[in-house]
């Protein structure tokens, strides 16, 4: 029987891998994906907070849109973290920076629906730029799995941008 005290211990180092990708690439892409995961959590939190607090004539459509987005983003966070693990690195275990990007109750109280939408657009655009660069790097490295994951994430974010912009039109 295995030593039960070691069963749930998280390994602090990266795993040695022989999957046809350069070791330095694995570390670089894992760091990039960790950054993308952080952006994903940022959008989850903002969508959730705006979902609860939006008001005015755009309430119903924006309430529904932000709910759909935070649910999709939450599922995406799992996929991104699992890819980090598949590349042999530890997925982040905590998000200590959440207080730096979560909107405060005081600021949300004074935001219009349009301001919330504009804020989400800014964050989606930032995420898209990072993902596009990361997808390009993955393609150059022959990492078709990460490239495909990022293509799927880009598809979501670009559609989210289209829908958010349509609310402002």
The percent of residues above 90 in pLDDT, for the chain, comes to 60
Phi, psi of 118 (to 5 degrees): -60, -40
Domain range summary for the chain, segments of one domain joined by +: 22-90+104-168
Residue 6 has pLDDT above 50, yes or no: no
Q: How far apart are CA 58 and CA 52, in angstroms?
A: 13
- Spell out the residues 6+ positions from residue 28 whose beta carbon is closer than 8 angstroms to its own: 137
Q: Of the ranges 83-92, 100-109, 128-137, which is most confident?
A: 128-137
What is the DSSP-derived secondary structure letter of residue 68? H
List the structure tokens of 132.
């596009």
* pLDDT level of residue 105 (50, 70, 90 thresholds): low
* pLDDT level of residue 109 (50, 70, 90 thresholds): low
Q: How far apart are CA 10 and CA 3, in angstroms?
A: 14
Number of alpha carbons in the 13 Å side-chain half-sphere of residue 10: 8
- Segment 122-164, tens digit of pLDDT: 999 999 999 999 999 999 999 999 999 999 999 999 999 999 9
- When pLDDT is averaged across residues 80-95 and rounded to a whole number, the result is 84
CATH number of 22-90+104-168: 1.20.1260.10
Q: How far apart are CA 128 and CA 69, in angstroms?
A: 15
List the structure tokens of 50.
């705006």
Q: Of the ranges 10-24, 106-120, 149-163, which is most confident?
A: 149-163
- Segment 21-45, tens digit of pLDDT: 778 888 899 999 999 998 998 899 8
List the structure tokens of 163.
């829908």
């Amino acid at each position: 029987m295995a030593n039960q005290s070691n069963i749930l211990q998280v390994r602090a180092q990266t795993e040695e891998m022989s999957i046809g990708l350069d070791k330095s690439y694995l570390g670089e892409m894992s760091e990039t994906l960790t950054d993308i995961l952080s952006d994903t959590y940022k959008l989850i939190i903002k969508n959730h907070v705006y979902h609860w607090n939006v008001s005015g004539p755009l309430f119903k459509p924006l309430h529904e849109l932000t709910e759909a987005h935070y649910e999709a983003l939450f599922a995406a966070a799992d996929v991104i973290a699992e890819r980090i693990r598949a590349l042999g690195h530890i997925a982040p275990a905590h998000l200590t920076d959440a207080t730096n990007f979560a909107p405060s109750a005081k600021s949300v109280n004074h935001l219009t629906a349009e301001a919330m939408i504009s804020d989400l657009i800014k964050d989606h655009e930032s995420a898209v730029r990072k993902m596009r660069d990361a997808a390009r790097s993955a393609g150059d490295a022959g990492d078709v799995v990460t490239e495909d994951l990022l293509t799927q994430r880009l598809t979501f974010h670009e559609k989210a941008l289209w829908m958010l912009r349509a609310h402002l039109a």
